[in-house]
Amino acid sequence: MKKITSFRGYEGPGWPNQKWLEPFFLTPAGRHQVFGIRNNHWGLKARGVDGTEDLPFDKEIDVTLHIIGKPDLGVLLYYDRLSATDGYTYFSVGNLKMLRTLVEAKPGTRMPLGLFIPFEQALRAVVEFADTDGALPKSIEWIASTDLPEGSFPEPEVTLRS
């Protein structure tokens, strides 16, 4: 399995450990540094999970834990598992009563407030993902993308310049 990180200050092979991640999830300054400036979407990826690392590309199974944070709201996690034949996505569950309330999670992209969880919970899930070699973390509640109401993720707003 090949581990890849896309996280401000830690780009490339391997995954960061809990000690390295903690300031970005547990301190206001760290949250602002990683989630408060332009790009607030990071991720940990595993290529070739479940023994598929030596198989051809079209037989490989990949998983990605996407991490989208807003310093004033928390973190939306989503877990993607993808192969050439199937795939599925799960989202972190915060307050499902807030699913119809949309917030700008990334510039131009609105996402359901009800899927954001506290930073401390998100850190536990990210660390668990790394410790279990890309398994879906059990430390938080998840909802399958197929169980979300239609329209939960509206199309990004596009601004045309003249």
Is 115 in contact with 91 (CB distance < 8 Å)? yes
Which one is predicted more confidently, 134 or 162?
134
pLDDT at 160 over 60: no
Under the banding of pLDDT at 50, 70 and 90, the label for residue 161 is low
For the segment 68-81, the average pLDDT, to the nearest whole number, is: 95
Per-residue confidence (pLDDT) for residue 4, from 0 to 100:
94
123 occurs within a structural domain: yes
Under the banding of pLDDT at 50, 70 and 90, the label for residue 94 is very high
153 occurs within a structural domain: no
Burial 65-88 (b: 16+ CB within 10 A, else e): bbbbbbbebbbbbbbbbebeeeee
Whole-number average pLDDT of the chain: 90
Residue 138: domain span: 2-147
pLDDT at 158 over 70: no
Return the structure tokens found at 81: 């598992």
Per-residue confidence (pLDDT) for residue 22, from 0 to 100:
96
Count of the separate structural domains present in the chain? 1
Per-residue confidence (pLDDT) for residue 159, from 0 to 100:
53
82 occurs within a structural domain: yes
DSSP-assigned beta bridge partners for residue 16: none
pLDDT at 10 over 90: no
101 occurs within a structural domain: yes
Q: What sign does the CA torsion over 20, 17, 45, 55 have?
A: positive
Per-residue confidence (pLDDT) for residue 108, from 0 to 100:
75
Per-residue confidence (pLDDT) for residue 40, from 0 to 100:
86
